[in-house]
Amino acid sequence: MSTQDKIKILYIDDEQNNLVGFKATFRFDYTVFIAVDIDQAYEHLKKNPDISVILCDQRMPDKTGVQFYEEMREEYPDPIRMLITGYADIESVIDAVNRGHIFRYIKKPWTDTDVKSAIEEANKFYITNSMLSAKNVELQSAYDELGKFAYSVTHDLRGPLLSVIGALDLAKTMDDIDEIKEILGMMDSAVRKLDEFITNTHEYYNLKRGKLVFEQIDFNDIISDTTAIFRIAGRMDSVKFTAHVVQNDVFLSDEISIKIILNNLLSNAFKFQRKKASDKFVDVNIEVKDDNAIILVKDNGIGIQENHINNIFTMFYRATSEETGSGFGLYNVKDALNKLNGTVEVDSVFNEGTTFKVIIPGKGNGTN
């Protein structure tokens, strides 16, 4: 067992001999911290937030073990507390156990086996508790997301639908074919917006629920796959697109996540162009080096205003009303990067353009 996996325990006793004896007995099985008084105990707790079990002698000069536990558990509620005591203190022990301060007590003189089994039990309890609180945190964030979802569904799904319903009603009263065609064009973009939202939702759930599948990534293939979709949709018209890939080594990563990242960054780059500019460009630069993929996506589009930059990765946040957007794209980029242990930086000048720099470590390089 490595030091990392060993159970961390803290033993507090005002008698130095007991401390030394305890550490000598248990140091092979556990990582043992010892404290001769309460101040020392607090120091250990502060430096080692992952101490899972505490054993404390009941009779100490300035405070009893029960008093110490009552006081410390406000700040350090997680470690499992056990008391070591002789029979004479049994009243206060029963009281403390009943009041929920103490998991178990060990009577003096203790045997190695007693202490060991108590520590193992306490640690199991600790692990169960921490798993429970981790689950609770997960559950809370799932609830919060569900709330956001329910709200956004009204706007992002219902909004375009109602627009189309309104447009249909209107079109029924029209006779002029050009006018009808105009309204058809707008209905088309409303329906596409709806479709984009659904695709993004699908990506979101793929990222949340899906497991990473590591395979060899060929960035040239990924670029041509991704841009093919844009080309068919006519979104690359009048935008000069350049891609430059330097990949000499095998790169292992999750293809779906990487496609989501590139697809969203490129989609934004093509979408948020300055309409009147004549020199529109989107440039992608990918380099695989030392098992890192460094991706630069650069455009000379509308840019992002400084006061919005910190929020662009927030779910449903939209920094502009130019063009349609679900407020989902960059959130999904960030989410995918979190899974891959990657990072993203943004450099943007309003009305001049934006560069996203993404670094993704390969599988051998620290991805979860």
Partner 1 sequence: MVQTSNLHFIVIDDSKLDCFIAEKIIRNSGGIDSIKSFLQAKEALQYIATARPEDVAHTIVMVDIQMPVMNGFEFVEAFEKFSPEIKKNYTLYVISSSINDNDLNRVQNYSSVKQFINKPLTNNSLIQLLENPI
Decide if residue 151 touches partner 1 (CB under 8 A): yes
Q: What burial class does residue 67 get, using C-beta atoms within 10 Å of its C-beta: 0-12 exposed, 13-18 middle, 19+ buried? A: middle
Which of the stretches 1-9, 163-171, 198-206, 346-354 binds partner 1 when contact is defined by CB under 8 A? 163-171
- Smallest gap from residue 324 Cβ to partner 1 (A): 8
Task: Look up tokens 């380099």; give the residue.
Answer: 287
Decide if residue 187 touches partner 1 (CB under 8 A): yes
SS3 187: helix
How far apart, in whole angstroms, are the C-alpha atoms of residue 365 and residue 368?
9
Q: What burial class does residue 204 get, using C-beta atoms within 10 Å of its C-beta: 0-12 exposed, 13-18 middle, 19+ buried? A: buried
How far apart, in whole angstroms, are the C-alpha atoms of residue 351 and residue 18?
72
Q: What is the longest distance spanned by two Cα atoms in the chain?
A: 100
Decide if residue 301 touches partner 1 (CB under 8 A): no
Which of the stretches 254-262, 272-280, 286-294, 321-329 binds partner 1 when contact is defined by CB under 8 A? 321-329
Q: Which residue in the set 320, 341, 343, 351 belongs to the binding site for partner 1 (CB under 8 A)?
A: 320
Decide if residue 101 touches partner 1 (CB under 8 A): no
SS3 9: strand
| Closest to partner 1 by CB, 175 or 290 | 175
Decide if residue 169 touches partner 1 (CB under 8 A): yes
Kind plus residue range of the DSSP H or E element containing 307? helix 306-309
Which of the stretches 104-112, 182-190, 267-275, 287-295 binds partner 1 when contact is defined by CB under 8 A? 182-190
Q: Which residue in the set 132, 134, 146, 165 belongs to the binding site for partner 1 (CB under 8 A)?
A: 165
Decide if residue 351 touches partner 1 (CB under 8 A): no
How far apart, in whole angstroms, are the C-alpha atoms of residue 63 and residue 40?
13
Give the CA angle between residues 302, 255, 153 to the nearest 5°: 55
- Smallest gap from residue 183 Cβ to partner 1 (A): 7
Which of the stretches 18-26, 44-52, 166-174, 340-348 binds partner 1 when contact is defined by CB under 8 A? 166-174
Q: How many residues appear in the chain?
A: 368
Decide if residue 353 touches partner 1 (CB under 8 A): no
- Smallest gap from residue 319 Cβ to partner 1 (A): 7
| Closest to partner 1 by CB, 167 or 296 | 167
- Smallest gap from residue 192 Cβ to partner 1 (A): 11
DSSP state of 110: P
Strand partners for 223: none
Contacts with partner 1 by CB under 8 A lie at 151, 154-155, 158-160, 162-167, 169-170, 173, 183, 186-187, 189-190, 318-321, 325, 327
